[in-house]
Structure 1
Amino acid sequence: MVDRDGVQTAISYMSKMLTGPETRYSIMEKLVLALVHASCRLRWYFSGHVITVLTNYHLGQILSKPYVAAIKGQVLADFITEVPVDKIKECEAIQNPTPVFDERVWTLHTNGASNDDGAGAGLRLVSPDNHELTYAIRLDFKSTNNEAEYEAFLAGLRMELKMGAKNLEAHVDSKLVAEQINGRYDAKGEAMALYLEQARTLINQFQTFKIIHINRGENKHADALSKLAATSFKHLAKEVRIEVLSNPSIPMRHVNIIEVRNPSWISPIIMYFQHGTLPEGKTEARKIQHKALNYEMADGILYRKSYMGPLLRCVDKHDAQYLVREIQEGLCGIHAGPRMVVAKILSAGYYWPCMHLDAVEILCKCMSCQRHASKTLRPKNPLVPVTAAWPFQ
């Protein structure tokens, strides 16, 4: 604090050491740098107050003149003039490098086997530096011999891509796989077509690819790996990694299960609403027409109309039994009587004829109610008085 004319004034002193290119700044550049440094250090004051800069130099005119913006362009022009032409070409070569084509070829041997005990796949990868990698895969799903061969081939392609291989030469002992990849054989069957499509997708990621069909005798190592569960070899010790595939490599189609139930009491009413079809008999047709007045169709679902309540969804006998068991014995089962169970079903928004009779029939079979219910002293049947005969009447 400094006392100036009886007023305490706060004064802040700060400094900055010039390093590197800053030491070669001109006087004006150093003054501007000092102003920027002060504004950064005292940004709270600069943002909250109007600051007056006292200086003997025309900093305001320099910062406000438009030709100052052209200094950057002049600096770039000076830089281009000072840099030789060969350096510029060197920089362009660094920015736009020429793609390098990797000519090293990886070798892949695959084999798949399937029998009654299971299926397996064996891989043998040889790098351009003659480093050998062995890999065994157990297929934990049912597959044919051709599918096992494809699984081994696809696993080998994935392994080569992870190893960064660009050029691949695959050796397989399955003539079907080799000829289908080369396009000489057609893929018959949905599974074979999916396997072939998956293989071509992986092959397109290599720069060069070649597949060769070899005899089984030339593929002993991969054949041994595919049968590793039953046979062991010394040269495979501590080098084999066994992986279990739970699902096939190709996407399987989802099968929607369609459950066809027997016609129920709601079938004639639905047919009448949707197609206007009535039973052949006049009596039955008239009954359906009268019943339809109490029902309504919405989004393909039949509902029962009620006078003072919402619409009740109509269910068949199978769903009705499920509703009774769920309310009686479910997670929040109440194990109550038929009247309470029917009331719960109605409040949930469901309806079917003879609800009370069906509830009584199902609740009578509840083992928990029979075991843990309170004993009833009331006789099952009404008592019938029996007059004893008078001896010697």
Structure 2
Amino acid sequence: MDMKSQWTIKEVQRLTGCLAALGRFLSRSGDKCRYFFQTIKKKAMFEWTEEADEAFVQLKGHLHTLPRLVSPLKSEKLFIYFAISEHSLSAVLLAERDGHQILVYFISHVLHNAELKYPHIEKFGLALYMASNKLRPYFLAHSIVVYTDQPLKKTFTTLEASGLMLKWALEMRGFDIAFETRKAIKGQAFADFLAEMTRPDLQPAGDQIWKVFVDGSATTTGCGTGVICQSPEGDKFEYALRFQFQASNNEAEYEVLLAGLKMCKAAEATKIDVISDSLLVVGQVNGDFEAREPAMMKYLKIVKEEAKGLDHFTLQQVPRSSNHQADALSKLASSASCDTPRSVFWEVKERRSIDAEPVHIVDRSSTWMDEIISYLKDGLLPSDPKESWLMKKRAA
């Protein structure tokens, strides 16, 4: 506390060492200490900037009012919240006693390299994975409830994800983790933790409109489609499908429309605006044109069924020049000798959507899986504490 503004690299290194030891007590330490770490980067020339000096003064003020942390009781349920900024991920672990939220642990992680470019939902997934690693003893000994406004539950409980999100979900399958919507904030220290977030307070993804750009490509050498989904937060997800069957241009346009709808619905979106350059498909879906060919009638029926469960759905036709990104993706997918880009989600489709075999339910009587499905989907548990404990173990 008696330190003056730092002027030498050794003094700044001493400061960062002290802050690392105090990390458990510091709310959002990654953001508070960012300027100090930047001044001692190996490739950067040392310079104590005005931003670093201002951050140092604010840090000293924060250290005067460090929160009181407690140790959790045996078998006590713990709760975790996340805060995501442009430069770091932060989490706070707390217990709830007599209606009050009590702080247990603060953790923070500074984003580096590719992590800075992760989509917003992946940053929340990384924050949960980071917390499970750094607080592993707490995750093993306690039930953890994650309070978040992001659609993480479906990803981490049903494993309907790909890439890094699927990897993180698999590594955390052994923990007893539940997901709930963020509740009212109790406690000043915790309120400060969330108040410092640089991300604006966004509505749930399902309440906002997703934009989807689609395009299909059918050539003599191959057929494929490209989808670009843009979330309400502005994150873009590129998705390419290559067909192992020969399709017409119109069939490819319908296939990519169905793929875009399914992708957004998997992210729990309920409002979708689709942009396509196919005049025929847009006209048939909107009712301006009549579908006469048997294949087009089947595709139209499936699209109507997919859109039926949405609160908002529009399909707009634009010139090909205004849909160049999706067009480039579709041409890439239809190329027979193209390599798979690392930044694009890739899938090979073996048959048409209208050729899928119908699934018939043979037996709808109750099975041993029903209780596990109810727990994973709705969080329902038996009233008996022993049975409840066994159910959580089986579900994991």
The two structures share one fold, judged by TM-score above 0.5: no
TM-score (norm 1): 0.37
Where relative contact order (Cα < 8 A, 6+ residues apart) is larger, the structure is 2
Greater fraction strand = 2
TM-score (norm 2): 0.37
Q: Which has the larger radius of gyration?
A: 1
